[in-house]
Structure 1
Amino acid sequence: MTERVNSLDIAKGIAIVLVVVGHVAAREEVPGADWYNLLRSAIYSFHMPLFMVLSGISLGLSWKVLANHAAVLGYVRKRLKKLVIPYALLGLAIICGKLVASRFIHVDNVPPGVVSGLLDLFVRPMASAASFLWFIYVLSAYFLVFPWLLQQAPRATPWAMMALGIVLYPFAWPATFNIANLVMYLPFFSAGILLGQHWRHAASVIHPRLALWALPLLAALVYGVWQEPLPKWFVGTLSVPFVLALAHQVQGPGKAFFMTAGIYTFSIYLFNTLCIGVAKALMLNIIPWRDGYFVGHFVVLLIAGVWGPILVKKIAQKISPPVAAYL
């Protein structure tokens, strides 16, 4: 069990580092830094489906049928508190921060006001001032529903929900209440639960075959970068066995690094864009945002995006452990 959990933590660490790499310059092309623009394009073609599968694996590995409905309600309430409270408080902080900062400097995606900003946060999260938190919104919705279904039919639920997601996937869905993303990632979260439920067998098939999984993923990424992007569901599916196999085989300092990133995945997800933003504001006064100079930005912002949130979490643990539990 320990090795399985370690492998999953490392896989999460790989996934969240890819997220941070993509967020170094999330909304813009970097002039003269084609290597980064291509890298970001490749990462964005698969990283969120991968994340959804890994989240589903965690649930599939840990889920046990509970004693009664009251126990399920307690489980759901506990999981939602860990997701909704950080989502709401960090979203509010970003809304207020953008409103204040916009009086002095240029700020992207400034809400008209606090009330309208909060309304967008919960009704139209992809249009909100904190749109990067959408993953938590979708995950909260899944944890509101899946435990009840797993309690009644633990084996049938991931199959049924994966099939439902596949049937619904081709249709256009509204962004309101994040329905479009809820439908898009339902097959991936469900498939992750299925992998978690059958982890011993899945690991025996996936882990020894790193080269086998690497070849089709590499081909899809190269084609997507140089020709035309392939469907996200396709590239995302190819990325799952590769990252799981890589996580099992990585050794040395890389293993320790990705393990740490995996343990602090939620903190990094919450705070990486804020830490990158602060570091970027400081760096722009020193190094131009273009050409070969961007390498310096990339290294510093990547370090800030990974280790900054970990530092925030550690400081919070010393100051207020109850608050740190939500970070």
Structure 2
Amino acid sequence: MDGSSHTHSVTSPARIRTRLTDLDRAKGVAILFVVFGHLVERSSPPDVHWYDPLRIAIYFFHMPFFMYLSGYVTFWAGAADVPVGRWPGLVSRRAQRLLVPFFAFGCLTLVGKLVASHFLHVDNLPPSLGSGLLSLFIFTEHSPATSVWYIGVLFVYVIATPLLLRIPRVGRLPVETPLVLVAVGLYLITVPPILYMDRVCRFFIFFVAGGLAARAGARWWAVLDRWHLPAFVALMVLLTYASGFVHFDWNKHADAYFPYKSYMLAAGLLSMVALHGLVRRTPVSHWAWLVFVGNMVFAIYLLNTICLGLTKGVLLKFLHWNAQDFPTFLVVMMIAGVFGPILIKRFLLPLIPPLDRITD
């Protein structure tokens, strides 16, 4: 692959203006899986045996797929190819776009949990504001707002990628070679959960895969259209096997160990073809509601755990955390986790312009 020619094609004005609707649909699919994965923060009821394998299966691929889409959009829009002279401007813009909501919604979730704990049951409650801040931003294994990690990690990826693409390469190797080598190397190492660095290392490979897919353009679309069904079948087989084989401890970062990461790598790569290809085919390609959900993805991501926590706290006033009531929790919380943020974004946040801007 000739790196310079592809760089030119990615950053051309006509291509930047092109909006791929299948990416919006794919983002809609991805955020639905994210919300489902957040329905139970730690443990399902002890007498429910079917949910944890399902959640483990989703965790193998839902954030790898989300990062793939983020890398795709970043490269497609040309942000990965920003010249060195314009890099400080990129850092400033992405800090406003990503770091501001990272800190704002992280602190909002933490304070909200501490206040709500006086009235409702709250999952993953820190003992104090100080310890909560340390867990939120430093010792992040037990972060009280784990969902915000994605936007902090994405900031690191977006500002680091243009620099990595300018690392000198040997001979006629593609310009992306150093980027790929760094991504593979980070995936293979194990780092402690400090400053979310474990997640920075774990998901960069999927971000880079999305960038390479965007570079490939129509050649990648041909792969999606031809191989999405075999990839989907292979993904289902892998998830069925791996979710029953892996014994995941939600109170520890067991996903840092390589057996888990090997399944995640395979499932993540298969999901890129299976799910992105699926949204390009009928009948899914005609689902306008999925495009709508995809366009609201940032607000849903930032607000879904808040809506889920409040909904669960209210439901526990009337229901019990047991096998009989668990399906009701799942249905009501799923609706609240998807539509609650949409309603807040549409009707409440316009009254608070600073929050409205950072959730666009």
Corresponding residue for 2:255?
Answer: none
Match of 2:205 among 187, 207, 212: 187
Quote how far apart the aligned CAs of 1:310 are: 1.1
Distance in 2 (CA, whole Å) between partners of 1:207 and 1:3 is 20
Q: Structure 1 CA distance, aligned partners of 2:332 and 2:296? A: 19
1:135-150 → structure 2 map (5 Å cutoff): 135-150=150-165
In structure 1, the partner of 2:252 is: none
Tell me what 1:221 maps to.
Answer: 239
8 Å CA contact 2:37–2:58 kept in 1: the answer is yes
Give, in whole Å, the separation in 2 of the partners of 1:3 and 1:68: 22
Q: Which residue of 2 aligns with 1:75?
A: 90
For residues 232-270 of structure 1, the C-alpha deviation after alignment (integer angstroms, 9 at most, x for no partner) is 112211111001111111536972232122111111111
The 1:67–1:54 alpha-carbon spacing in structure 2 relative to 1, beyond 3 Å, is closer
**Partner of 2:141 in structure 1?**
126
Q: 1:85 to 1:42 in 2, by over 3 A?
A: same
Paired residues, number:
327
Residue of structure 2 in register with 1:23 after alignment: 38
CA separation in 1, counterparts of 2:228 and 2:19?
Answer: 17
Which residue identity lines up with residue 232 of structure 2 in the other structure?
A
Paired residue for 1:168, among 170, 183, 186? 186
Task: Pick which of 304-313 and 314-323 moved more.
Answer: 314-323
| Distance of aligned partners of 1:35 and 1:258 in 2 relative to their CA distance in 1, 3 Å threshold | farther
Q: Which residue of 2 aligns with 1:58?
A: 73
User: 2:39, 2:330 within 8 Å by CA — same for their partners in 1?
Assistant: yes
Cα 1:16–1:159 change in 2 (3 A) is farther
What is the deviation of 1:23? 1.3
1:200 positional shift: 1.7
Q: CA 1:4–1:215 in structure 2 vs 1: closer, same or farther (change >3 Å)? A: farther
Q: Tell me, which stretches of 5 or more residues in structure 1 are unaligned?
A: none
Contact 2:164 2:179 in 1 (8 A): no
Tell whether 2:111 aligns with 1:96: yes
1:306 to partner: Cα distance: 0.6
After superposition, residues 231-310 of structure 1 pair within 5 angstroms as 231-251=263-283, 255-310=287-342
Contact 1:49–1:185 (8 Å) recurs in 2: yes
Q: Structure 2 unaligned segments of length 5 or more: list them.
A: 1-14, 247-259
Moved more, 298-307 or 63-72: 63-72
- SS of the equivalent of 2:40 reads coil
Q: Tell me: CA distance 1:188–1:278, structure 2 relative to 1, closer, same or farther (3 Å).
A: same
Give 1 or 2: higher helix fraction.
Answer: 1
Most deviating of 141-150 and 112-121: 112-121
Q: Distance in 1 between matches of 2:181 and 2:30?
A: 25
With structure 2 as the length reference, what TM-score do the two structures score? 0.81
Q: Distance in 2 between matches of 1:267 and 1:139?
A: 16
Q: Contact between 1:21 and 1:302, CA under 8 Å: does it hold in 2? A: yes
Q: Percent identity?
A: 33
Q: Which amino acid aligns with 1:296?
A: T
Which amino acid counterpart does residue 245 of structure 2 have in structure 1? Q
Using structure 1 for the length normalisation, give the TM-score. Answer: 0.88
AA at the equivalent of 1:210: H
Change (3 A) 1:319 1:147: farther
Closer/same/farther in 2, CA of residues 292 and 263 from structure 1, 3 Å limit: same
Deviation at 1:104, TM superposition (A): 5.3
SS in 1 for 2:44: coil
